[in-house]
């Protein structure tokens, strides 16, 4: 009798354990499913757009600071090469790695501006302004202007881009007659292509190589609101 009771008791205990197990197992599965749903919950559209915008802004800031920067031409000192209203791209990575504002210092050099390069640089007389001119002579060269004609190391420096508004008229001063003078180390002598209408090294001296921001290489937009608005024929034009 006792033996049968024990077996019955054991059977009842086993049944209860199985029932309890059957109750607990679905509960654990439900919790696991909820956790999986929380983990796999997709990002909101707003968050995705915000992340994409932040990444785009960081990339744009990096490119502008170290690779390519856009500038607008405000004056006619580089006519006919660059016209007022031209928007240009400048390669900042060509000559070295330069820290952006507020540091404005060069970390490392791996290239040098060459004679004929069109460069953007910090204006020595007002460091809040950027100028664009053409390199005429580099360190060690002797430059001279005689009756408007430019000489570098005693030889005529001829460029098809050069233009003279007062071709048949000379004025006293350094515009039409300058030098000779030797360019110091780490310096550049620059002039505008519009020789008679350019404020350049003939008047304020040399450009420090460390102040060069980059080489102009492309006109990506050109706007003339006074005449015919967009100059379509200039878009995409390379700067030589």
Catalytic positions are 77, 133
Using the structure block, give the residue that is written with the tokens 């006792």: 2
C-beta separation of 134 from 82 below 8 A: no
Tell the burial category of 145 from Cβ atoms under 10 Å away from its Cβ (0-12, 13-18, 19+). buried
* Bond from prior residue into 80 cis (ω within 30 degrees of 0): yes
Nearest to 222 by CA among 66, 85, 52, 43: 85
Residues in the chain: 240
| Measured distance CA(182)–CA(171) in Å, rounded | 23
Helix (H, G, I), strand (E, B) or coil at 128: coil
């Amino acid at each position: 009798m006792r033996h049968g009771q024990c077996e019955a008791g054991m059977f009842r205990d086993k049944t209860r354990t199985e029932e309890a197990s059957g109750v607990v197992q679905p509960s654990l599965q439900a919790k696991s499913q909820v956790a999986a749903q929380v983990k796999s919950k997709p990002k909101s559209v707003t968050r995705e757009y915000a992340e994409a915008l932040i990444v785009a802004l960081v990339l744009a800031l990096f490119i502008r600071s170290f690779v390519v920067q856009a500038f607008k031409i405000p004056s006619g000192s580089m006519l006919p090469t660059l016209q007022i209203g031209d928007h240009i791209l400048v390669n900042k990575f060509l000559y070295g790695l330069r820290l952006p504002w507020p540091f404005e210092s060069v970390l490392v050099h791996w290239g040098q501006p060459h004679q004929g390069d069109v460069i953007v640089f910090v204006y020595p007389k007002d460091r809040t302004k950027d100028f664009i001119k053409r390199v005429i002579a580099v360190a060690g060269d002797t430059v001279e202007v005689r009756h408007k004609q430019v000489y570098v190391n005693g030889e005529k420096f001829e460029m098809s881009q050069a233009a003279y508004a007062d071709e048949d008229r000379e004025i006293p001063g350094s515009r039409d007659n300058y030098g000779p003078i030797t360019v110091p180390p780490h310096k550049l002598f620059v002039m505008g292509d519009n020789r008679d209408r350019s404020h350049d090294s003939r008047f304020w001296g040399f450009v420090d190589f460390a102040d060069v921001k980059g080489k102009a290489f492309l006109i990506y937009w050109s706007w003339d609101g006074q005449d015919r608005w967009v100059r379509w024929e200039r878009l995409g034009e390379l700067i030589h």
